[in-house]
Every structure is written in C-alpha cells, then in structure tokens.
Structure 1
Amino acid sequence: MVIMEGKGRLDGVDLRELVSTVPTPFYAYSASAIRHRVGALQTALGGMNARICYAVKANGNLAVLRLMAGLGIGADIVSAGEMHRALHAGIPAGNIVFSGVGKTADEMAQALAAGVWRFNIESRDELHTLQTVAAEQDVVALAAVRINPDVDAGTHAKISTGKAENKFGVTMDEARDWFSQSDAFPNVRLDGLHVHIGSQILTLQPFRLAMQQVAAFAAQLAASGHPINSIDVGGGLGVRYRHGHDVPVCVNEYAAMLRATFADFDGTIVLEPGRYLVAEAGVLITRVVRIKAGASREFLVVDAAMNDLQRPALYDAWHEIIPLHDRGGGDVRYDVVGPVCETGDTFAVQRSMPRCQAGDLLLIANAGAYGASMSSNYNSRPLTAELMLDRGRHAVVRRRQSFEEMVAGESLAAEWLTA
C-alpha cells in the first residue's frame, strides 16, 4: 500500500519536483509504507514466538535494510554479498538466516565467522560441506532442513519453489534420514525445519497444506528423539499488483493459520517476507521519450527499460502505469516499451491510459521488490538512482551510476598470462 496523496505525491513528496534534480528513470521508496507493512505483520503475529527475517533479495538497498534493522527485523540471505549488506546496514549476525541451494564453502566460512544465526540446508552435499567448514572453525552451526512438500502454490511457474520438480529442498524421507544420522555431523546441529513454496501467493490454502505437513513432521521427529527448535515458514505472501484482479491474503488470517497449525509447537517460528514488505512501497518514475505510430498500434517509448525493471519481461508481470500529467484528450491504448534492443523490453501491451506526449512523466507502481535488486547494465545503461522518501523528505540512497563506475572493473588486455 503505497502512501500516495493525490497524483504524483508519494509519502508527502511531489515526485514531479524531484525530476529537476534527479534524472529519470529512478526508483522511489516510501519509508512510511514499509513501516506500516512491517507493523501490520508484527501486530498480526502478536503473542507468538516469531522472528521476522526480511528476504534481502527483494530489495537490498542499504537504506531499506537500515530501516528494517531499526524496526527489529532480521535478514534472510542467499549469498555472502547479501550478508555483508545486512551487517553493514546494522542487522545483527545473530538475526540472519542463510538460505539458498548453492552456498559455497567459502560463503559458509564467512557466515560462520560472522556468527549468523542459522543455515537452511537444501541437499546432503551441502550438509557435508557445512560439517567440514564448521569443523575447520571448531564451531557448531545451527541448521534447518528445507522440506519440499510438493505443494502447488498456484503462482507463476518461475517463482514456484515447493513442487517436486523444483530445485529447492528435499523430501521428508530424505530429511528423516539426515536426522537419524545426525551423530555423523558433530559440528552441525540439525534442530530446525524450513519450507518455502513460492512467491506472490494469493490464496491461503497452499500455505495451510504445506504448514500442516511440516507441523506433523516436526512432531514425528520430536517423538523419535530429534527435537525441533525452529520452523522457518518462508515467505510468499502476495501483493496487489493489479487492482480488481489480485486479492492478497489477509495478513491476520495468515497469522491465525500459523497460530492454529503450530499450536503444539513451542519453538520459534521464522518468517521470510520480502515482496510483502517492500513491493507496494516503491515506484519507478520514467519519462516518455516519444510516441511511435506503428502499423497496427501506438508505442509509448519511455526512458526506463527491462534492465531497470525485469519483471514484465521475465514473468509477464503486470504493473500499473500511471501518467503524472493532467492533460485531457481521452484514453489511448499504448504498448509501453523501453529503449533496449529486445522485443521483450515491454512494460505493457495495449494498455489504456490518458493520451501522452514526449516529456510526460509516468509512474510504474509496486516496483519496490525485485526491481532495482534485479537490474543490470544491459545495453551499457547505467544503474538508476534510488531515493528514500519519508513524510515530506527525500534522500538519494543510490546515485545514478556514471560511465566510469560502470566500466571500473574492466581493463584492456595489456598483460597476457599463461595458466
């Protein structure tokens, strides 16, 4: 829920005035909206032994992470780089969970040295690697086994993670085998379970099915002498990208489901929300470059591109696109496209909106998650600026990348070496 106050105002700031000092395209995030969403989740979980660890991959800007730290939120990371971001922003290592299928031994060593709280383990090889690395440091790593419950989350195939054909997690039979052999891993304490079935989930039933399986499995493990101290229920709560189409799960109903499902569990429930906390707090501001009349349609060419916001090209994702001008003239159907040399560089197809002209500003809504964090330099386009807005104030929290910064790690082949 973006804190909009009339057309072009976000969290007390007139976005149209910002373009005089910040060139388009740029991202703007509402600190008030993030606080509101975090507060709603914390309130819904009231009375539970629950820990919220924000999924850094959704938006890893240091200012966003610092805001999370100040609200008592931990971090769910999937790389050593995300760990360093979280630590740099002030999130304590003891409130960081390390997830992901491809953790390297070096990343594990960095995480153990930093003192992260626990690891979510996704394969037998990873378990063996963590044992080796932890033994080298003479420490005991806390770990949870990620379960794949083979539940269809009813979301886009590319963000579904809990079905048998997905790369994530292991079967309960395999997990049970790990627990039975836990004595072979003296430097890894298997005392947790983890499940995450996908992202942008808009119905409660897939969550309920997955959680019921995990709760029953935790009880079975405890009965066989393997007590479970934490259950990580992942993230996945969807948001409203398209009005009149997306109906998100009520956070209070979600929390009530968790409370009922884990009523007999006395350990810690861990949540890993990402999109839910930041998506609707962010917008991408772009400017119309020109209108191109095609043989069968009109193309609205803007200065933002798929390298700035990949979701439409990657997932066919819908984002509301709102012109920030008040000119009349009736609605027109446009294909909204960027300047990148790919047909996939398309934000919307045959979208109806007020007539535009070159120079007009557009707001691409709900872009606070998986926007800037997935951006690239494709077509040698600089990374966009990012701004934090807060009750009438704004701060540039990442300046627009310069050409020199873009090529800083490159060099000419002046010195040749042999292996």
Structure 2
Amino acid sequence: MNHFDYQDGVLFAEGVSIPRIAADVGTPFYCYSTATIERHYTVLAESLAAAGLKATICFACKANPNLAVIRTLSRLGAGADVVSEGELRRALAAGVPAERIVFSGVGKTRDELAFAIESGIMQINVESEPELLMLSELATAAGREIEVAIRVNPDVDANTHAKITTGKKENKFGIEWTRVREVYAIARALPGLVPVAVACHIGSQLTEIGPFREAFLRLRDLVQVLRSDGTDIRRLDLGGGLGVPYDGETPPSPAAYAGAIAETLGDLGCSVLVEPGRLLVGNAGLLVSSVVRVKTGATRTFVVVDAAMNDLMRPALYDAYHAIHPVTEPSAEVEAVPVDIVGPVCETGDTFARQRPLPPVQAGDLLVFATAGAYGAAMASTYNSRPLVPEVMVNGNRFAVVRVRPSYEEMIAFDRLPDWQSDTKTGQ
C-alpha cells in the first residue's frame, strides 16, 4: 500500500498534489511519502511482535540514505544497517542511537572499522578471517571489547536477480557455512572480540518464503553446534531481502515472513535483527518527470522525458520494471498505445520501458515512475554532467525539499585544474 492517489483527476502524494511540487522544485525529482514509510514499518514491527519475536528492525540505509528518511524510521524505533563509514555517519547524523547500528559489508577498511569502534555501535558483521584479525587488533588498541557476528554464506539460492543474490557459495559475501565453526573458534580466542551473534543475508527482492526457510534452518543447526562449542550466541541477524511488487509480483507478507522466522528459529531464545530496506521505502517513493517531446521513429514512438538513467539506474542496470503513470488521470475512454519511454542520456541503455502502453501525452505533461523509493536516488550519478535530482518529503498537506538540486556552478566547483593548466603567463 502507498499514499499516492488520484484526487479529482490529479495525482497526489498524501495531501499534496504532484503538480504543486513540480511547480515549486522543477522536474525531475523524487517524492517520498512519510505516511507510507510509517505504515510499512508499523506493519512489519507488529508482525514480528505478533509472532512472539524479540526483534529490532535495522533499516538498510543503502536503499535510501536520505537523512529525512532515516530519521522518520529512527523516530519509530528503527536502528540502521550500514555498509560504509559514510552510511554510519549518516545514520548517526539522522539520530539513530549507536547501540541500534549494525555495520555489514565485505570490504570494510581499517579506518572504517576504527570509526565504528570509536562510535560504540551495537554489532559488526565480520565477513572474512583477515577482517576478524584486523578488528581484533583495532579493538585491542582502543581498549574496547566489540560484539561481533560472523556472516554466514549458507549456499542458498534466493531465486532473485543474479546481481542481487548474495547467499550462494560463489558470491563474495560471508564465510562458507561449512567453515563457520572454525572461524568462531578463532573469534573466541582473539582479544577485543565478543562473538555473540550469527548473521546471514541471502539476497534482495525475494518473492518466495522458501529460500528464507532454507537459510534459517541452516542457521538453526549452526547455532546449536556453536553453543555446544562454547560460543554464547544471543542474537540472530537475518538480514533483509523481502521483496515488493514492481510488476504484479506477490511477495510474502510481513506476517508470513515473521511466521517463518518464529517457526524455524523462535525456540532458540535469541533476539532477532532484521534489516529491510526496499520493504520499508520502495513503495514510498516516486520519480516525477516531465515529457520533453514525443518523437516518431521509423518503427516506434518515443516519449522522451527529462529524467534519465543517471537518475534511476535500475532499468538500465537490472532491466527492472517500474510502473509509469501520467499525473493527470486519463479518461477510461482514452486508448493507451505502446511507446518507448526514454531519457536524454546519450546511450541506448537510457530506456525506462519498451513498448509500454501509455495514454497519449505531449510535451510538458508529468509522468511518475512508481516504486522508486529504494535504490533510486541512492544510486544516482551526475553522468552527462546532469545535476543530481532533488528529493522531496511529504507529510500530510506539507512538503519539504530534503535534498536540493545542485547548480551547474556548484557541480563544476568540485573540479580542480592542475597548476600546469593555469592561464597565468610564465614569461615565455
């Protein structure tokens, strides 16, 4: 469910019309609904509680690292799952307490780990033996004891896109589950480390409950073995991955997901961490764009919009589907015709949809790309020297720009000319 609806023939975000925002900030822009974010968090939290789980929801900041988004969730009680020092600093700046932050990621640097130790976060998820040794060295030097989890690679196929599958043995993430017992023995012996948790994340945009159950059952067996070895496992970090409907998919409900956790792991006496990203913010965001022109080609019609692949990478990167709707509600009598919806970037890959039925549009009309709240602005770039698009948050009948569009001058000012390209004459 989301809070984007037509009212009197015009698309609204909660109580604010999309054309009103477009007139104020220009297009393209991202628009987020506070009410949708809050509802998705609440449904998940209530589902976990109803299943009898002592659970903490740590928002996966990589899905949408905007401070206003993170703070909205933090005020509801969410923690944060971060994968870089930048995300950790953002979570802290947004008001997430350090004791509700988990640091994941396969390539954490020495400086990043040192900052995490200094910040006093809840848990660091270790993904290799060299990282374990480095963390012990840093913790000992800082005079700290750090609670850690070993990220397990359970070799489970998540049945999702190959580029967002993370739990198979050929993926770069985690430690192969058959070696985890050995690595926990190393962790128990190292100074400065307190191994208290097991972590696992098998992929993103899962639309079936089966892979979760398979991974959870492997974790269950592993916890029992580790406890028999003397490791005091108190927490289970189950990652995220529950999908959202982009194109008619029917992912498991939060209640079904919580039920699967309770049925497979609920009697172990562990607290649970879950790290959803897309589930909380995907349906809470739109990308709003203007039609630049309609171009008739030799074999098809192109609707050229002012948003581009640098603003929303998912279609170019994953062949991902986003529903596209006009902001002005089309009449039921108007026949949709197949068009290619494309952006202005000089690549054929800058195509959002091919032969997608769309009501007739003309230059200046507004279109929205649905389910764009996750991995939209987060993955944007300035390719073709295009400014990053602004982000807007709506709350009831109010809206605010929560990331501004930089000017061309501000973009260019980040570059520096070397001294040998100076225009100052040298007397030659």
Q: State the TM-score, normalized to the length of structure 2.
A: 0.95
Q: CA, structure 1 residues 327+184, in 2 after alignment: closer, same or farther (shift >3 Å)?
A: closer
C-alpha deviation, 1:48, in angstroms: 1.5
In the alignment, is residue 214 of structure 1 matched against residue 219 of structure 2?
A: yes
Write out per-residue CA displacement over residues 117-159 of structure 1, whole angstroms, 9 at most, x where no aligned residue. 1101111111111111111111111110111111110100000
What secondary structure is seen at the aligned counterpart in 2 of 1:20?
Answer: helix
Structure 2 counterpart of 1:101, one-letter code: V
Q: Which residue of 2 aligns with 1:3?
A: 3
Write out per-residue CA displacement over residues 71-120 of structure 1, whole angstroms, 9 at most, x where no aligned residue. 01000000000001000000011110000000000000011101111101
Is the 8 Å Cα contact of residues 2 and 10 (structure 1) preserved in structure 2? Answer: no
The worse-fitting range, judged by mean Cα deviation, of 5-14 and 331-340 is 5-14
Aligned residue-pair number: 414
Q: Which residue of 1 aligns with 2:117?
A: 112
Structure 2 counterpart of 1:407, one-letter code: I
Mapped to 1, the partners of 2:300 and 2:25 lie a distance apart of 32
Is the 8 Å Cα contact of residues 28 and 386 (structure 1) preserved in structure 2? Answer: yes
Q: Which residue of 1 aligns with 2:78?
A: 73
Q: Which residue of 2 aligns with 1:254?
A: 257
C-alpha deviation, 1:183, in angstroms: 4.4
Structure 1 counterpart of 2:104, one-letter code: S
Mapped to 2, the partners of 1:207 and 1:172 lie a distance apart of 15
1:142 to 137, 141, 147: 147
Q: Which residue of 2 aligns with 1:57?
A: 62
1:264 to 267, 272, 275: 267
In the alignment, is residue 400 of structure 1 matched against residue 413 of structure 2?
A: no
Mapped to 2, the partners of 1:391 and 1:248 lie a distance apart of 28
What secondary structure is seen at the aligned counterpart in 2 of 1:8?
Answer: strand
- CA RMSD in angstroms comes to 1.2
What secondary structure is seen at the aligned counterpart in 1 of 2:244?
Answer: coil
What secondary structure is seen at the aligned counterpart in 2 of 1:341?
Answer: coil
Q: Which residue of 1 aligns with 2:426?
A: none
C-alpha deviation, 1:184, in angstroms: 3.4
Matches within 5 A, 1:357-376: 357-376=362-381
Write out per-residue CA displacement over residues 283-335 of structure 1, whole angstroms, 9 at most, x where no aligned residue. 00000001111111011100000000000000000000001234665211111
Is the 8 Å Cα contact of residues 217 and 264 (structure 2) preserved in structure 1? Answer: yes
Q: Which residue of 2 aligns with 1:196?
A: 201
Is the 8 Å Cα contact of residues 98 and 118 (structure 1) preserved in structure 2? Answer: yes
Is the 8 Å Cα contact of residues 145 and 192 (structure 1) preserved in structure 2? Answer: yes
Mapped to 2, the partners of 1:284 and 1:183 lie a distance apart of 48
Q: Which residue of 2 aligns with 1:319?
A: 322
Q: Which residue of 1 aligns with 2:106?
A: 101
C-alpha deviation, 1:407, in angstroms: 2.6
Mapped to 1, the partners of 2:324 and 2:270 lie a distance apart of 44
Give aligned-pair identity as a percent: 48
Write out per-residue CA displacement over residues 242-272 of structure 1, whole angstroms, 9 at most, x where no aligned residue. 13xx111111111011111112211211000
Gaps of 5+ in 2: 422-428
Matches within 5 A, 1:15-26: 15-26=18-29
What secondary structure is seen at the aligned counterpart in 1 of 2:2?
Answer: coil
Mapped to 2, the partners of 1:404 and 1:155 lie a distance apart of 42
Q: Which residue of 1 aligns with 2:424?
A: none
1:30 to 27, 33, 52: 33
What secondary structure is seen at the aligned counterpart in 2 of 1:190?
Answer: strand
Mapped to 2, the partners of 1:260 and 1:183 lie a distance apart of 29
Gaps of 5+ in 1: none
Mapped to 2, the partners of 1:87 and 1:180 lie a distance apart of 32
2:387 to 354, 360, 382: 382
The worse-fitting range, judged by mean Cα deviation, of 360-369 and 394-403 is 394-403
Structure 2 counterpart of 1:4, one-letter code: F
Q: CA, structure 1 residues 210+326, in 2 after alignment: closer, same or farther (shift >3 Å)?
A: closer
C-alpha deviation, 1:225, in angstroms: 1.3
Q: Which residue of 2 aligns with 1:236?
A: 241
Q: Which residue of 2 aligns with 1:280?
A: 283
